[in-house]
């Protein structure tokens, strides 16, 4: 019976990571309707509401201590900034590059930040992995045949900013250790949409009459699948199977973003993106001692 449950979680994790990859495609489509702050409000408003029955079913307590609430507040500030640049990069760039570039660069930058903070010890092979990761990132940007003008375009800078903001968000969020990650995420979303609505959203400028079926399909997919479903499955996977067993599934995210971007947005996928993604994934595997095949 235990093996049966593990297999079910593995199947759910597979689709959950596909959902994370699909979020880049959803965001690209939504960028034609709303701006970054509107997307944050709609996406995480729906996500927060949908998490209430999940928390109840999982029998988690809604109680949150002052420290965790303070951590959630600080994390939400970084989260809003990350979501803005994630959205802007996808709007002006491609979902496939964003999904591959950001999701593979984030673990590398996170490792570097933790090493600088003294929470990670650098080994000899880590230096090789970081060098390999750097080559992979430069390859994704096609630095070998492009001019500096082509490389430092605005969307690449947005993706780079997003890649630095997410590790900061992760490190801040990791300071909350007294409540369930699912409950912490719920309060993070509540605080995020509150701050977003108070300081950034102009409700009068939102073109509600342009919200057609395509808009709602992508918004629901972004909110309920990429956020609620994928995040919940990931947290349950860590809780039931451990972080080591779940970590290898993360590598499905960049490839699903690449494939879905090509299928639904007809984006051109260059060999540089594919080769660079493989190189950065191998670097992440070395840095975090991840077994891809189990």
DSSP notation for 129-156: HHHHHHHHHHHHTTTTTS-HHHHT-HHH
Residues 6+ apart with CB under 8 A from 58: 180, 182, 236
DSSP state, residue 266: -
* pLDDT bucket at 120, cuts 50 / 70 / 90: confident
Is residue 237 scored above 90 in pLDDT? no
Is residue 107 scored above 60 in pLDDT? yes
> Which tens digits make up the pLDDT trace of 250-279?
888 999 999 999 999 999 888 899 999 999
The pLDDT, as a whole number, for residue 124 is: 86
The pLDDT, as a whole number, for residue 250 is: 83
| Torsion angle, alpha carbons of 171, 175, 181, 184, to 10 | -100
Domain ranges of the chain: 2-288
Count of residues making up the chain = 294
* pLDDT bucket at 284, cuts 50 / 70 / 90: confident
The average pLDDT across 83-96 equals 95
Average pLDDT, the chain: 90
Is residue 175 scored above 50 in pLDDT? yes
Residues 6+ apart with CB under 8 A from 208: none
The average pLDDT across 59-68 equals 94
The average pLDDT across 166-195 equals 94
Of the listed ranges 141-150, 155-164, 212-221, the least confidently predicted one is: 141-150
The pLDDT, as a whole number, for residue 190 is: 97
* pLDDT bucket at 293, cuts 50 / 70 / 90: low
More confident call, 291 vs 242: 242
CA distance 57 to 52: 9
Contact 98, 86 (CB under 8 A): yes
Is residue 211 scored above 50 in pLDDT? yes
CA distance 268 to 261: 9
The average pLDDT across 174-194 equals 93
Is residue 135 scored above 90 in pLDDT? yes
The average pLDDT across 111-128 equals 87
The average pLDDT across 135-150 equals 81
The average pLDDT across 224-234 equals 94
The pLDDT, as a whole number, for residue 294 is: 54
The pLDDT, as a whole number, for residue 1 is: 45
The pLDDT, as a whole number, for residue 95 is: 93
């Amino acid at each position: 019976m235990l093996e049966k449950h593990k297999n079910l979680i593995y199947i759910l994790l597979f689709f959950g990571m596909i959902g994370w990859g699909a979020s880049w495609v959803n965001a690209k489509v939504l960028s034609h309707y709303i701006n970054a702050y509107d997307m944050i409000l709609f996406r995480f408003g729906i996500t927060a509401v949908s998490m209430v029955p999940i928390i109840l079913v999982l029998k988690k307590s809604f109680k949150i201590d002052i420290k965790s609430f303070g951590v959630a507040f600080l994390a939400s500030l970084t989260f809003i900034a990350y979501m803005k640049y994630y959205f802007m990069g996808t709007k002006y760039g491609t979902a496939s590059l964003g999904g591959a570039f950001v999701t593979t660069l984030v673990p590398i930058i996170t490792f570097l930040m933790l090493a600088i903070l003294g929470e990670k010890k650098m080994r000899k092979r880590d230096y090789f992995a970081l060098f390999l990761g750097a080559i992979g990132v430069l390859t994704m940007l096609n630095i070998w045949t492009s001019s500096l003008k082509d490389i430092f375009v605005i969307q690449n800078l947005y993706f780079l900013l997003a890649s630095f903001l997410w590790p900061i968000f992760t490190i801040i969020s990791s300071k909350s250790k007294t409540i369930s990650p699912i409950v912490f995420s719920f309060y993070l979303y509540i605080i995020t949409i509150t701050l977003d609505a108070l300081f950034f959203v102009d409700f009068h400028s939102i073109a509600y009459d342009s919200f057609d079926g395509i808009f709602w399909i992508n918004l629901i997919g972004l909110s309920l699948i990429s956020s609620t479903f994928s995040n919940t499955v990931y947290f349950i996977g860590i809780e039931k199977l451990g972080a080591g067993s779940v970590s290898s599934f993360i590598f499905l995210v960049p490839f699903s973003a690449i494939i879905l971007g090509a299928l639904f947005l007809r984006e051109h996928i260059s060999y540089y993106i594919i080769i660079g993604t493989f190189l950065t994934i191998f670097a992440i595997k070395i840095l975090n001692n991840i077994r891809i095949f189990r």
